[in-house]
């Protein structure tokens, strides 16, 4: 394509942006043919730091990157005519901060950004929400970006959780990670998420045999599920900084599949996980942003994969994480009404 894709990254001075921008500029995320034009948005106090990031992008001399990297603290400038937005910027959780307060701070940010996107972005924009609480932030954004931007154009990132699950299965089975297919992360990008391997496959592990192959229900309940659910906290405890390299890689994987299609992306997987607006599939409350197994055809089109078997073990987890999302949405409604 001759026109460069305009990609807006919010939280442009933050640590995920620092790991993500080279993946966007180099063609790793969207292919070696796709030119890109970058816009970075952050708070006024971060303008100078962001200018430094822009200097480094220039100094990278990336052949696919448009020379002028836009750096701004104004959402209307950042989203003007933008094709793809990656929303990293959010209010971080401080020690001792109530979850409600975190939700409240972010509700305001994602309302404002939804309104800006509605006002100035292209109607065919695709928006990936990463800043936490990601699913509910995506829901809030969808309320304020509509009707200019339909909810099908908005997703929240659960690909990092999906990648973590896939990698943990490969590690457990001593096989290559790209030989593992069919994992699903259901629900919220939070500690209630449900990483599900019940229909996953690997070399010598046919469909329906994975639970037994990794160690049975006890292993799932006591090891696999909690390990994935708390992986972000484990990285934070070890690094004293939250996941950034792996988050950036997951964002690149997500964008490649969503925009270029899963074949072009050569993801080698039957489906991937992403939080999309529920259409009631699998008896999940319609309207909430819930992580499902999805297939992407390219150009921003996707479909939820239907008819995967859900047994009692899975249903319990799927329900709990869905209930959490309904509660978050209801809190957001109450906050935004004030
Ligand atoms: P950083 O704190 O390094 O960067 C965030 C940046 O956003 C800061 O520069 C800040 O000034 C900026 N910002 C704050 N409010 C803003 C606003 N209203 N407009 C524009 N910019 C604003 O965080 P980082 O490690 O980069 O993480 C970014 C977000 O990703 C966090 O909310 C984090 O919790 C979330 N994550 C989500 C993941 C997911 O899988 N969905 C995984 C990784 C990550 O933890």
Catalytic positions, please?
Answer: 189
Place of tokens 């949405």: 329
Q: Is it the case that residue 265 has pLDDT exceeding 70?
A: no
- CB count within 10 Å of CB 226 equals 13
**Cβ–ligand 1 contact at 185 (below 6 Å):** no
CA distances from 201 to 123, 208, 213, 293, 295 (A): 38, 8, 10, 15, 17
Q: Among 8, 12, 13, 14, say which to mutate for ligand 1: greatest number of ligand atoms within 8 Å of CB.
A: 14
The residue nearest atom 17 of ligand 1, judged by CA position, is 89
pLDDT averaged over every residue in the chain: 95
pLDDT tens digit string along 184-239?
999 999 999 999 999 999 999 999 999 999 999 999 999 999 999 999 999 999 99
Query: Above pLDDT 70, what percent of the chain?
Result: 99
Q: Is it the case that residue 93 has pLDDT exceeding 90?
A: no
**Cβ–ligand 1 contact at 48 (below 6 Å):** no
**Cβ–ligand 1 contact at 43 (below 6 Å):** yes
Which atom of ligand 1 approaches the CA of 244 most closely? Answer: 25
Q: Is it the case that residue 266 has pLDDT exceeding 70?
A: no
Query: Residue 30: which of 269, 294, 276, 300 has the closest Cα?
Result: 300
Model pLDDT, residue 233: 93
The whole-angstrom separation of Cα 324 and Cα 86 is 24
Which atom of ligand 1 approaches the CA of 161 most closely? Answer: 40
Q: What's the token pair of residue 30?
A: 């969207």
Sheet holding 301-304, edge to edge: 70-72, 36-41, 5-10, 84-87, 126-129, 154-156, 272-277, 289-298, 301-304
Q: Distance from the CA of 162 to the center of ligand 1, in angstroms?
A: 20
Prediction pTM value? 0.97
Asked if 194 contacts 185 with a C-beta cutoff of 8 angstroms, the reply is yes
SS3 track for the chain: CCCCEEEEEECCCCHHHHHHHHHHHHCCCCCCCCCEEEEEECCHHHHHHHHHHHHHHHHCCCCCECCCCEEECCHHHHCCCCCEEEECCCCCCCCCCCHHHHHHHHHHHHHHHHHHHHHHCCCCCEEEECCCCHHHHHHHHHHHHCCCCCHHHEEECCHHHHHHHHHHHHHHHCCCHHHCECCEEEECCCCCCEEECCCCEECCECCCCHHHHHCHHHHHHHHHHHHHHCHHHHHHHHHCCCCCHHHHHHHHHHHHHHHHCHHHHCCCCCCEEEEEECCCHHHCCCCCEEEEEEEEEECCEEEECCCCCCCHHHHHHHHHHHHHHHHHHHHHHHHHHC
The whole-angstrom separation of Cα 118 and Cα 141 is 10
Model pLDDT, residue 1: 52
Q: What is the mean pLDDT of residues 38-57?
A: 98
Model pLDDT, residue 181: 96
pLDDT tens digit string along 96-107?
788 788 899 999
The whole-angstrom separation of Cα 218 and Cα 135 is 29
**Cβ–ligand 1 contact at 157 (below 6 Å):** yes
**Cβ–ligand 1 contact at 10 (below 6 Å):** yes
* Bridge partners of residue 301, in order along the sequence: 298
Asked if 189 contacts 291 with a C-beta cutoff of 8 angstroms, the reply is yes
Model pLDDT, residue 99: 76
Q: What's the token pair of residue 127?
A: 């928006």
The whole-angstrom separation of Cα 276 and Cα 287 is 9
**Cβ–ligand 1 contact at 242 (below 6 Å):** yes
The whole-angstrom separation of Cα 195 and Cα 217 is 13
The residue nearest atom 33 of ligand 1, judged by CA position, is 131
Q: Is 174 left (phi over 0), alpha (psi -120 to 50) or beta?
A: left
Model pLDDT, residue 7: 98
Lowest model confidence (mean pLDDT) among 65-79, 131-145, 256-270: 256-270
- This complex has an ipTM of 0.99
Q: Distance from the CA of 220 to the center of ligand 1, in angstroms?
A: 30
């Amino acid at each position: 394509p001759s026109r460069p894709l305009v990609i807006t990254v919010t939280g442009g001075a933050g640590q995920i942006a620092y790991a993500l921008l080279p993946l966007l500029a180099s063609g790793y995320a969207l292919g070696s043919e796709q030119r890109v034009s970058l816009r970075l948005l952050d708070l006024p106090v971060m303008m100078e730091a962001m200018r430094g990031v822009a200097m480094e992008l220039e100094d990278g001399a990336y052949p696919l990157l448009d020379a002028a990297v836009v750096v701004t603290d104004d959402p209307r400038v950042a989203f003007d005519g933008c094709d793809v937005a990656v929303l990293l910027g959010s209010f971080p959780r401080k020690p001792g901060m109530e979850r409600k307060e975190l939700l409240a701070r972010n509700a305001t940010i994602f309302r404002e950004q939804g309104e800006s996107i509605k006002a100035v972005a292209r109607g065919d924009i695709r928006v990936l929400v990463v800043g936490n609480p990601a699913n509910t932030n995506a829901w809030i954004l969808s309320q304020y970006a509509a009707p200019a931007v339909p909810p099908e154009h908005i997703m929240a990132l659960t690909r990092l959780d999906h990648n973590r699950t896939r990698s943990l299965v490969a590690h457990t089975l001593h096989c290559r990670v790209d030989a593992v297919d069919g994992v699903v992360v259901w629900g919220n990008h939070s500690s209630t998420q449900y990483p599900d391997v019940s229909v996953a496959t690997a070399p010598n592990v046919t469909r329906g045999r994975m639970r037994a192959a990794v160690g049975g229900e006890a292993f799932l309940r006591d090891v696999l599920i909690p390990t994935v659910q708390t992986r972000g906290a484990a990285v934070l405890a070890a690094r004293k900084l939250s996941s950034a390299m792996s988050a950036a890689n997951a964002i690149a994987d997500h964008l490649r599949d969503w925009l270029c299609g899963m074949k072009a992306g050569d993801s080698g997987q039957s489906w991937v996980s992403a939080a999309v607006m529920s259409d009631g599939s699998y008896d999940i409350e319609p309207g909430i942003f819930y992580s499902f197994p999805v297939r992407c055809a390219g150009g921003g089109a996707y479909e939820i994969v239907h008819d995967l078997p859900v047994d009692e073990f899975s249903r319990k987890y799927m329900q709990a994480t869905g209930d959490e999302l309904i509660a978050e949405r209801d809190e957001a409604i109450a906050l935004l009404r004030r």
